[in-house]
């Protein structure tokens, strides 16, 4: 790594010279100063993989627990199972329908009677 860094530094010098973009002199420890500053001040910005991973895992665990709890409570409170057979009395709606039809028939009959009376009068 150190040999690579040194070579990178030398190559940068070559490149800067060929591009004619160089100052007359430059401190040899410039990059050290930058790195010291970064380690002392900003190290926590990107070097938090472990914590990020831990936080993600914790949030997944909490979410899963809450979901299971809610689903568990929902099923136990709302659904009640029974051993006996449930019989459904569906007569009421059909009776209503029949009544309505009867009413309609009555109305129709009244109309017919009215019409007949009018004809008689004529």
Partner 1 sequence: MIIDDDREIIESIVDGDTAKYEIIVKKYQIRVINLCFRYTKNYSDAEEVAQEAFLKAYRSLGSFRFDSKFYSWLHRISINCSLNYINSKEKVKEKETISENTCLIDERRGVGDRPDEYYNLSELSEVIEKTFEGLPEELKLIVKLREIDDLSYDEISNKIGIPIGTVRSRLHRAREILIKIIKNSYE
CA dist 26 to 9, 16, 35, Å?
12, 12, 16
Least distance between partner 1 and beta carbon 68 (Å): 33
Least distance between partner 1 and beta carbon 71 (Å): 36
Closer residue to partner 1 (CB): 39 or 63: 39
Least distance between partner 1 and beta carbon 15 (Å): 5
Closer residue to partner 1 (CB): 30 or 61: 30
Closest CA relative to residue 9, chosen from 102, 119, 27, 45 = 27
Query: Do residues 16 and 22 lie in contact, with contact meaning Cβ atoms separated by under 8 Å?
Result: yes
Closer residue to partner 1 (CB): 44 or 91: 44
Least distance between partner 1 and beta carbon 51 (Å): 10
**How would you classify residue 22: left for phi > 0, otherwise alpha for psi between -120 and 50, otherwise beta?**
beta
Closer residue to partner 1 (CB): 7 or 105: 7
* Residues binding partner 1 (CB under 8 A): 1, 4-5, 7-19, 21-31, 33-35, 37-39, 41-43, 45-49
Provide the 8-state DSSP code for 81.
Answer: -
Which helix (H) or strand (E) is 121 found in, with range?
Answer: helix 91-121
């Amino acid at each position: 790594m150190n040999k690579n860094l040194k070579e990178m530094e030398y190559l940068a010098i070559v490149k800067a010279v060929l591009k004619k973009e160089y100052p007359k002199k430059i401190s040899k420890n410039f990059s050290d100063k930058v790195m010291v500053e970064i380690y002392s001040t900003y190290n926590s910005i990107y070097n938090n993989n472990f914590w990020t991973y831990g936080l993600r895992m914790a949030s997944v665990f909490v979410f899963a627990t809450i979901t299971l709890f809610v689903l568990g409570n929902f099923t136990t409170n709302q659904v009640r199972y029974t051993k006996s057979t449930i019989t459904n009395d569906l007569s009421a709606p059909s009776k209503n329908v029949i009544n309505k039809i009867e009413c309609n028939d009555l109305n129709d009959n009244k109309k017919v009677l009215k019409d007949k009376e009018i004809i008689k009068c004529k």
